[in-house]
Amino acid sequence: MNNDMHDSPIPAPAPLGLAPSLQAADTEIYLIDADTLLLADVNQAARQNLGHDLPALTGMTPLDLAPELDAAELKTLLGSLGQEVGAQVSLATRFVRADGSRYPIKLCFLRVLRDGRSLFLAIGDDLSLAHAASAALQQYQMRFNAVVDHTPGLVYQFVRHLDGGTAFPYLSEGCAALLGLSVSELQQAPERFAQLILPEDRKSYQDTMQASIDCACVWNWEGRIRIEDTWNDVKWINLRATPIPLADGGMQWDGIMTNITASKQEQEETRRSRARLAELAEHSEQVKEQERTRIAREIHDDLGGNLTAIKMALAMLAARLPPDDALREKADYLDSLVDRTIDAVHRISLDLRPSTLDLGIVAALEWQAREFEKQMGIACVFRDADKDIDGELDPDHASALFRIFQEALTNIAKHAGATRVTVSLRRQRQHLTLTICDNGRGITPADRLKPQSFGLRGMSERAKALGGTLSLSPAPGGGTMVVVKIRLTAAAAKAVAPSQPEPSRA
């Protein structure tokens, strides 16, 4: 025990005690003799926390319980109370329990008089929980800061007030890297963020913000900003934030902004690559169609002409043969072989490119419908179409539309199990629509996802190459409906006045 403040023995004072209410208090309460600093009484809460019984404590001073305290500093602190009753001072230190463990405590000292004796009443608050909570909070803050600092973007809070004013209550350190502005610069002038947005993207920024306010839903926006202070750089950013209504009627968003420039560039490169592939595919189809046309004409003109000449020559030779049954049989066989070859040449030529395409798309589709019905035994009805359509499609587009029609009929014959097909070709203002309906089993989503469904993919790619669309849907009454819609050329579109009503056909 430290005896610096009482060098000579002092007679023990008369026993003093705390009032019952103080004895039962949850807070630690100590009654201290002002002259000797010996503890005169200690309440139950203090005894339990310290682990000492009352006889042991009454032989101690606050300096014994708090070895970290300096005796001179304590004497100066208590001396500052003077003799005025009710004055108080406080300090923070650490008490040592009987088991040697320590805990933080805040002591508030008051001067009191009891039976003419000067006493100190010390009220102690155990700060263990407060310190633990503070340490936990500090640890959580450190973790939060670590997560935020390593987040690839800007974590922020944004407020829009009812009067239209804005504020950024919180901005992470990623602010400067993403926006080229320090945290203090943007917080002092929050309007500078909207000024960074490119003029053509500001409307979408305001519209998506208002939509988030109206529906109290997540605010998701992508747009471009220009960082003029560095390299005059243009960045794509994405902001995604959750709205929180404020008591004053404003709205606060908690969210994150990220730099998506790289992904946008990749998307743009992918789009350009797909466009180039589509152009290449269209060019390849045009070249193939032109080659088919050339081969079909050469087969028809050259082989067909030669075979016709051979047939005529055979007929002349057969007429001059001597009466010999064996020779006559050979001549008849050769004549039949030539006929079959002529039929094969005609069929191959039609497969390569139907000559009816030279008469227009309507005639070609009608011919293909009749051929399909004759070959497959499936009724194929072609609804009447406007003959003027033939003049509104260039040959390449007409060939591509015809190939889509052929592929659709092939799919019906192979998979649909249909007994009837209905086809219509209509002009609707600036568009031409080909509709093919069957009454078969219908197409399922799984059918469209089959790895080898090249027929459907080819039809879709041909439609895209024409600048149009191809859609598959259930047909009325069952089956499948294929709709190909392409845009007419500018010259063809002018043939239909904008005010002219669309023709009504079955």
pLDDT tens for each residue of 222-251 = 999 998 765 668 999 999 999 999 998 899
Alpha carbon distances (Å) from 250 to 5, 167, 238, 398, 400: 63, 11, 23, 59, 58
Name the pLDDT band for 252 (thresholds 50, 70, 90): very high
Query: Residue 86: how many CB atoms within 10 A of its CB?
Result: 8
State the Cα–Cα distance between residues 220 and 241, nearest whole angstrom: 7
DSSP 174: T
Q: Are 25 and 123 in contact (CB under 8 A)?
A: no
Mean pLDDT confidence for 176-197? 92
> Which 8-state DSSP code applies to residue 182?
-
Reduced to 3 states (helix: H, G, I; strand: E, B; else coil), residue 506 is: coil
> Which structure tokens are listed for 69?
């305290």
Residue pair 472/464 in contact by the 8 Å Cβ criterion: no
pLDDT at 491: 43
Among positive and negative, which fits the CA dihedral 126, 132, 135, 137? negative
Among 197-201, 263-267, 304-308, 434-438, the range with the most confident prediction by mean pLDDT is: 197-201
304-319 helix and 325-352 helix, angle to the nearest 10 degrees: 170
Task: Give the residue from 445, 357, 351 showing the smallest Cα distance to 402.
Answer: 357
Please state which of the ranges 279-288, 372-381, 477-486 shows the lowest mean pLDDT.
279-288
pLDDT, position 229: 63
Cα 412 to chain centroid distance, Å, stands at: 38
pLDDT at 246: 93
- DSSP annotation of 157 reads E
Of the candidate ranges 42-51, 65-74, 177-186, 338-347, the one whose mean pLDDT is the lowest: 338-347
Rounded to 10 degrees, the C-alpha dihedral 317/319/324/325 comes to 100
Is pLDDT of 219 > 90? yes
pTM over 0.85: no
pLDDT for 450 equals 64
Which of 172, 126, 133 has the alpha carbon at shortest distance from 149? 172
Q: Which residue is listed with tokens 């923070």?
A: 92
d(CA 503, CA 429): 10
| pLDDT, position 50 | 94
Average pLDDT over the chain, rounded to whole? Answer: 83
Distance CA 251, CA 235 (A): 27
What pLDDT shows up at residue 49?
93
For residue 310, what are its two tokens?
């051979």
343-346, long-range: CB within 8 Å, 24+ apart, which pairs? 345/299, 345/300, 345/303, 345/304, 345/307, 346/300, 346/304
**CA dist 153 → 150, 186, 208, 236, 237 (Å):** 8, 16, 20, 12, 9
Residue 167 has a pLDDT of 95
pLDDT, average across residues 206-217: 94
Q: What is the pLDDT of residue 475?
A: 84
What six digits make up the tokens of 340?
A: 């079959």
The answer on pLDDT for 411 being more than 60 is: yes
CA–CA gap between residue 428 and residue 496 (Å, rounded) = 9
- How far apart are alpha carbons 362 and 402 in whole angstroms? 9
Is a pLDDT exceeding 60 seen at residue 495? no
The arithmetic mean of pLDDT across residues 130-140, rounded, is: 85
* Range from 120-124, 273-277, 296-300 that averages highest in pLDDT: 120-124
Which of 30, 50, 36, 45 lies closest to 8, judged by CA? Answer: 36
Angstrom distance (rounded) from CA 366 to CA 94: 101
Res 504: pLDDT: 36
Is residue 394 predicted with pLDDT exceeding 80? Answer: no
Rounded to whole angstroms, the Cα distance separating 117 from 398 reads 117
User: Collapsing DSSP states into helix, strand and coil, what is residue 177?
Assistant: helix
Alpha helix positions (H), 390-467: 395-411, 445-448, 454-465
Express each pLDDT in 322-351 by its tens digit: 888 888 888 888 888 888 888 888 788 777
Tokens 């100190």 appear where? 120
* Range name among 236-240, 296-300, 469-473 with the lowest pLDDT average: 296-300
Per the CB < 8 A criterion, the answer to whether 7 and 35 are in contact is no
The yes-or-no verdict on residue 404 having pLDDT over 80 is yes
Whether pLDDT at 187 is above 90: yes
Alpha carbon separation from 142 to 92, 127, 135, 175 (Å, rounded) = 26, 22, 10, 19
Model confidence at 468, in pLDDT bands (50, 70, 90)?
A: confident
Q: What is the structure's pLDDT at 96?
A: 94
Amino acid 142: pLDDT: 80
pLDDT of residue 501: 42
Q: Which of 493, 365, 334, 490 is nearest to 434 (CA)?
A: 365
Q: How confident is the model at residue 2 (pLDDT cuts 50, 70, 90)?
A: very low
> Does the pLDDT at position 14 exceed 70?
no
Please tell me the least confidently modeled range out of 8-17, 94-103, 198-207, 446-455. Answer: 8-17
What CA–CA distance (Å, rounded) separates 9 from 314?
154
